[in-house]
Every structure is written in C-alpha cells, then in structure tokens.
C-alpha cells in the first residue's frame, strides 16, 4: 500500500523490492525470446520446413483434370467437370493419370489440364491401359514451362515409411496429405477385370479427385500413382492404394510411343470365382470362346448354358494352377506373346493337355476403355 506522509510518498519495502527486480525480469524475458528453442521444438520446426519444401517442389508438377460431361449447349462447347489429378511426366507435355479418370473420353476427344488452379489447357488422349488403370494425355500449351515430377522407386519400400499424396480431392486443387506405407504387394483389381500386382497401401488421405495424383516418398519423389480407396462411404477411410512406380515406368513409355500396350491372351472368357464354385469346378471355367482366336483353333469348349453343362475347365497353365482372370493373365504374360503355352484341361471328367498360341489381344486401333467381362 502506498501512503503520503509530510509531502513524501512512502513505498513499503516489499513493493520496493518488486520494482527493483523488474528490470531483471524484463531482461530475462527478452533473453528467453531470443534463446535457442529446445531440441524437440527445433526438430519439429525442421520437419515442418522439410514438408513445406517437399510440397513447394512437387506441387507444380500436379494438375487437375477435367473431362467433358454432357452434350454441348447452344453456341457453347461441352461442359467440363473435375474428374481427378495428373502428374507432369516430361517437358513434351505428357501427363500421367488413371484410366478411370478419363472414363468416356476416347481417342480424338480432349480433356482439360488445369495448372495452379487457374491456367487451363486443352489436352488430347495419347493412350490408355485400363488393365493397369493408367493413361497418358498431352497438353497443348507452353510445354517449355512444365516441371516434370521427380521420379523415385517403390523398390525397397518398407511398411511404416512416411509418404505424401498431392491431388485435387473434391476439386480442391493441390491438397497435401500425409501418411505411412500401411502394406506392400497388394493386388489391386482394375476395371478391365485384371489386377495390378505390387500395389502400395497407404493411410494418407485419398478422396475422390486424388485419383491420378502422385504418391511421394519423404524426399518428394514419386513412388506411385494414387488410384483407389477402400471405403463404404466413398470417402477416405485410411485405406488407399497406388500403382507402384515400377509398373508406371513400364507402362507409360509404351502408351507415349504406341498409344497402347500389348495384352497377352488366347481369347477366352472365364466364370467368376463364385460362379465356378456353384458349378462345383476346381479351376477356371471357360464360358466363352472368341471366334478366330488361338482358343478356338485349339478346340477349347465353353460352358453350354442351354443345357447347363460344363465345357472345359482350365486347371493349370505351364504347370501353374489357375482359378481366376488374374491367374490366367499372369500365366499368359509369363509365357509371352508369340510363344506357346500348355493348358491342363478337364473335359467331361477326363484330363488332357492342349497347346495354345499366345497372341496380343490389344491390337492397334481406337483406344476404347473396356467394359464387361475380361477376355484373357
């Protein structure tokens, strides 16, 4: 308490002591502000700087892709709708995305590639590989300004490694999410009825619109193309998948060069696993044989639906047991186009061996995304 006595101010001793130490407290507070942060805080700040740098380096290589939906209006072109993401592959204007992002866009038609959420360029379809859910488009624009993504490798990845996804979820351009490698060597079904082997599973948030964008390692290198999520709601549930870089590196050059990739097969359609189980068959049940194919020339017999009678059931190819479309596809790829494979077949209760030529079932021609049953 302060009190006035004989014209002077009396300051109690305790208050006076407080005033005396205030300069010391001020100096201590100032020094605390300029002093180095604790080691843990410094580490966090360094990690944040690395993530910011990673994003700033990789984001310019990621585009949003819009595709035509619906008919053109009077006096105007078709309406475009955001469909997914893409990655700048090279300085010639090639952009890699998912085949399903370009659903309904055929050869000769165009999509739009949107950079920075603002700059919009028309892009034509160069090639599609639905069996790998990969496609390539090429922009008609200032290709010299493009920044190709830095490519890495999925080889040597380990569960638990940090990964990042950049894309355009729900049309929100260049969104970054972080997660880990949750599992490796997953088998990823595609719309073409085949499977991509070696798919990367991650818990990084992947939502509609992320498809076709890059999955990056901790150094910002692309190690895969984000392609699918497992979710009952259609939104991220922490289970996303990416086509591994080794598959991308194998498929994309062929799409750029030829607009297609070879597809080994013999020309048969086989039953789904559950249908084969209902029929009591232990193998790949042949339900259709395409005319003028190696399967037809080898005499393979399809299921007789009129009489509900089994035809041929393929048990093995070159000694390897098969049951599903992916099993057959893998076997034909191993045998190789231009070579001959030996089919172990059961017909009317008797086993026999048939020699069948392996051919390319994806001949040159218009690129039309396949639907319906797959024909290996």
Residues with a catalytic annotation lie at: 100, 133, 211
Cβ(220)–Cβ(163) under 8 Å?
no
List, in sequence order, the alpha helices (H) in 137-224. Answer: none
Cβ(123)–Cβ(95) under 8 Å?
yes
Cβ(194)–Cβ(326) under 8 Å?
yes
Cβ(361)–Cβ(375) under 8 Å?
yes
CA–CA separation, 314 vs 353, rounded Å? 10
Beta-bridged to residue 243, according to DSSP, are 225
**CA proximity to 222, closest of 86, 93, 44, 47:** 86
| DSSP tag of 60 | G
Beta-bridged to residue 112, according to DSSP, are 66, 122
Q: Is 205 helix (H, G, I), strand (E, B) or coil?
A: coil
**CA proximity to 286, closest of 312, 305, 265, 309:** 312
Q: For residue 193, is it left (φ>0), alpha (ψ between -120 and 50) or beta?
A: left
CA–CA separation, 81 vs 150, rounded Å? 28
């Amino acid at each position: 308490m302060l009190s006035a006595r004989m014209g002077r101010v009396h300051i109690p001793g305790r208050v006076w002591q407080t005033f005396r130490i205030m300069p010391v407290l001020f100096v201590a507070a100032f020094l605390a502000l300029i002093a180095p942060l604790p080691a843990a805080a410094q580490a966090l700040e360094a990690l944040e700087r690395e993530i910011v740098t990673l994003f700033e380096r990789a984001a310019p290589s990621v585009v949003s892709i819009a595709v035509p939906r619906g008919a053109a209006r009077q006096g105007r072109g078709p309406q475009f709708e955001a469909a997914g993401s893409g990655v700048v592959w090279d300085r010639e204007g090639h952009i890699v995305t998912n085949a399903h992002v370009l659903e309904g866009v055929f050869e000769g038609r165009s999509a739009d590639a949107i950079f920075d959420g603002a700059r919009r360029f028309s892009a034509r379809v160069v090639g599609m590989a639905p069996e790998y859910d990969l496609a390539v488009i090429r922009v008609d624009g200032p290709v010299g300004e493009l920044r190709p993504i830095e490519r890495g490798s999925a080889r040597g990845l380990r569960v638990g490694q940090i990964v990042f996804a950049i894309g355009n979820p729900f049309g929100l351009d260049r969104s970054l999410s972080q997660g880990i490698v949750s599992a490796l060597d997953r088998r990823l079904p595609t719309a073409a009825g085949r499977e991509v082997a070696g798919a990367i599973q991650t818990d990084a948030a992947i939502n509609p619109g992320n498809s076709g964008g890059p999955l990056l390692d901790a150094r910002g290198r692309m190690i895969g193309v984000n392609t699918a999520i497992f979710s009952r709601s259609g939104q991220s549930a922490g289970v996303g998948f990416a086509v591994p870089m080794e598959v991308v590196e194998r498929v994309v050059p062929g799409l750029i060069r030829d607009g297609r990739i070879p597809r080994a097969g013999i020309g048969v359609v086989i039953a789904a696993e559950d249908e084969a189980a209902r029929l009591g068959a232990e193998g790949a049940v042949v339900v259709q044989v395409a005319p003028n194919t190696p399967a037809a020339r080898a005499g393979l017999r399809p299921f007789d639906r009129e009489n509900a009678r089994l035809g041929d059931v393929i048990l093995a190819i070159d000694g390897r047991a098969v049951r599903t479309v992916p099993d057959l596809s893998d076997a034909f790829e191993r045998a190789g186009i231009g070579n001959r494979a030996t089919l172990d077949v059961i017909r009317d209760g008797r086993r026999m061996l048939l020699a069948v030529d392996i051919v390319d079932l994806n001949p040159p021609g218009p690129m039309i995304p396949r639907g319906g049953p797959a024909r290996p």
